[in-house]
Chains A and B, each alone.
Chain A
């Protein structure tokens, strides 16, 4: 009921945030992404689903140009955020990544204190002018990461000492600390237990209010629970893209149907 209502709202108010046209990715000789077109709406959660090796993570990493860090990876095509071509020569990946945050499959806090983990992004980008301002950013980010109450008394304890779910929420807090517009999440719950997963899913739903969230997930239930739009990838192709409810109740493509009903994957 609630999901239906938000979907309607999204269609009413949100414009396109990210638009991709004819994206191709090659890893050495492997053709990993084949001609993908997609439009991702602002302030919504879009889920990428599909069997392992279908290219959903690879496509996600194109959006903040993390694929640049892999020598053999070649990306062609056109990806725009708010109309800016992010693969344009004038775009600095450093600046782009401040604008497009990312959360990884395995929680990867730096071996520093909780405070320093969150403060790292604002510090390198020069977002805080004073210590007090930094404290404020850290607190705000930790609150947005829904972990403030758990760590406010031990901000200077090492981030690696937290539990897996807490670490992942810390990483989310770290990602939102630079005030990005887009948040990419690469299977953020696959290393977590069910309780921690539920907490993160709840958090993702609140993040939608401020950020455009793109999440890669293995679990169809998760996609159904948190997303408004779903894209189904298979063997490097974007097979089907649409409202989550439509994809899960009334898939148009036979491959999507087979995947959702558990025949491929």
Chain B
């Protein structure tokens, strides 16, 4: 049915285009001078119909699901939902939906069958409503657009106004995304902070987000102090940067100053491959190769290494960041004017001295910006740590131990079915909020440095 609505819209738009274009041509053939060529009259009708009706359909589709569900739940026999939290209510809804979809497991209660029938009925009604609404709107707009056709009508300006509006909407989508991120994180974090005080979250030394599943279950009440989690993040980030920065900078310096052209033309694309490998692949590499290697190395030296050592996750993350840092360093070195290089060489500096004493200091701001962006990436990197780092929060700075990170906690807390009103789920959003804030600050700072630096030499 939804497809039918789209089909109606498409056909009607094309019809409106043809109709208006024909009408404009007729006026022109009648000897009048058109302000806009007839094609624009057609396009005007097309856009006038396509844009608003598409918006209406999309809004309808977004709202249809929740509204229908709410009506079904509301129509359930009184008292069925008493004492159930949203998770359980969602389960009932899911069961009703699957019955309505024809997948019946066991023998559901009669009220569920009735509700399922009700749901099916409402859905059909909604689909029919959508098609009718689309058809009506199309007809109305076609009429309005057809009335507009006249010799003096500025169809081109009309079309350009609509297109401008569309483009502005596209540009603002980026803002919507940011606003959406901030609003959703802030909203859930606010709910979290009503359950767990801010001071406990920021300064607590324990992170044990287990909560009792049944009321009578004996379990820890759950502790939500994020310090051990952020400590783990810092350890892994530090290991990653400690590996990525020297390797990345030295390779960049070598490729920039010393490598023969042939080596450079092979090495740069190879580094890009390293950058293009998905992080889930690095994660698998960490558990398949790196972690066992580090553990057996530790065993051979008599050092106890935890199975999920931060070294494995951090090390692999470091490898992932090497191309990132080296490409930033390469850009920064290339941006230093050639005259600096010539000046140093003409004084009799060796190429190593030229790079280290003149080019590198001049490129420092650009490189620092790149390293900061790498830090922000390391903090936000998820898959490598989810696969290779630990799950248990462990307040330590020893990279041989198993630590957990902010992103690991977000993923493990949210994997599986979740309802939005227990502290476990909400804690993930609170962590997400902190992650967003920290990386945002680093990014803004780093991007500003990089931009300033570019301006300095442009």
A residues near B (Cβ < 8 Å) are 64, 66, 69, 71, 94-99, 101-102, 104, 106, 108-112, 120-121, 124-125, 171, 174-175, 178
Q: Are B348 and A171 in contact (CB under 8 A)?
A: no
- Please give, as numbers and ranges, the residues of chain B lying within 8 Å of A99 by CB-CB distance: 348
What residue in chain A is nearest B347 (Cβ atoms)?
A: A121
Q: How far is the CB of B341 from chain A (nearest CB, A)?
A: 8
Q: Are A121 and B362 in contact (CB under 8 A)?
A: no
Q: Are A101 and B343 in contact (CB under 8 A)?
A: no
**B160 part of interface (Cβ distance < 8 Å):** no
B residues near A (Cβ < 8 Å) are 261, 337, 339-350, 353, 357-358, 361-362
Task: Tell whether A178 pairs with B347 under 8 Å between CB atoms, given A71-B261, A112-B361, A124-B353.
Answer: yes
- Please give, as numbers and ranges, the residues of chain B lying within 8 Å of A124 by CB-CB distance: 347-350, 353, 357
Q: Once the chains are docked, how many angstroms separate the CA of A66 from the CA of B351?
A: 12
Task: Tell whether A106 pairs with B339 under 8 Å between CB atoms, given A71-B261, A95-B348.
Answer: yes
Q: Are A121 and B345 in contact (CB under 8 A)?
A: no
- Please give, as numbers and ranges, the residues of chain B lying within 8 Å of A111 by CB-CB distance: 340, 361-362
Say what secondary structure dominates the interface of chain B.
Answer: helix
Partner of A108, one of B339, B350, B357, B361: B339
Q: Are A97 and B345 in contact (CB under 8 A)?
A: yes
- Please give, as numbers and ranges, the residues of chain B lying within 8 Å of A104 by CB-CB distance: 339, 342-343, 346
Q: Are A108 and B261 in contact (CB under 8 A)?
A: no
Q: Are A108 and B343 in contact (CB under 8 A)?
A: yes
With most chain B CB atoms within 10 A of its CB, the pick from A69, A108, A175 is A108
With most chain A CB atoms within 10 A of its CB, the pick from B337, B340, B342 is B342
Q: Are B342 and A98 in contact (CB under 8 A)?
A: no
With most chain A CB atoms within 10 A of its CB, the pick from B337, B340, B346 is B346
Q: How far is the CB of B359 from chain A (nearest CB, A)?
A: 10
Q: Are B347 and A101 in contact (CB under 8 A)?
A: yes
- Please give, as numbers and ranges, the residues of chain A lying within 8 Å of B350 by CB-CB distance: 94, 124
Q: Once the chains are docked, how many angstroms separate the CA of A96 from the CA of B347?
A: 9
With most chain B CB atoms within 10 A of its CB, the pick from A66, A69, A175 is A69
- Please give, as numbers and ranges, the residues of chain B lying within 8 Å of A178 by CB-CB distance: 347-348
Q: How far is the CB of B346 from chain A (nearest CB, A)?
A: 4
Q: Are A102 and B346 in contact (CB under 8 A)?
A: yes
Q: How far is the CB of A113 from chain B (nearest CB, A)?
A: 12
**Can you show 29 pairs from A to B with CB atoms below 8 A apart?**
A69-B342, A69-B345, A94-B348, A95-B348, A97-B346, A101-B346, A102-B342, A104-B342, A104-B343, A104-B346, A106-B339, A108-B340, A109-B343, A110-B340, A110-B344, A110-B358, A110-B362, A120-B347, A120-B349, A120-B357, A121-B349, A124-B349, A124-B350, A124-B353, A125-B348, A171-B343, A174-B343, A174-B347, A175-B347
Q: Once the chains are docked, how many angstroms separate the CA of A97 from the CA of B357?
A: 17
Other than A101-B346, A110-B358, A120-B358, give 12 A-B pairs with Cβ distance below 8 A: A71-B261, A94-B348, A94-B349, A95-B348, A97-B348, A102-B346, A106-B339, A108-B343, A110-B340, A110-B344, A124-B347, A124-B357
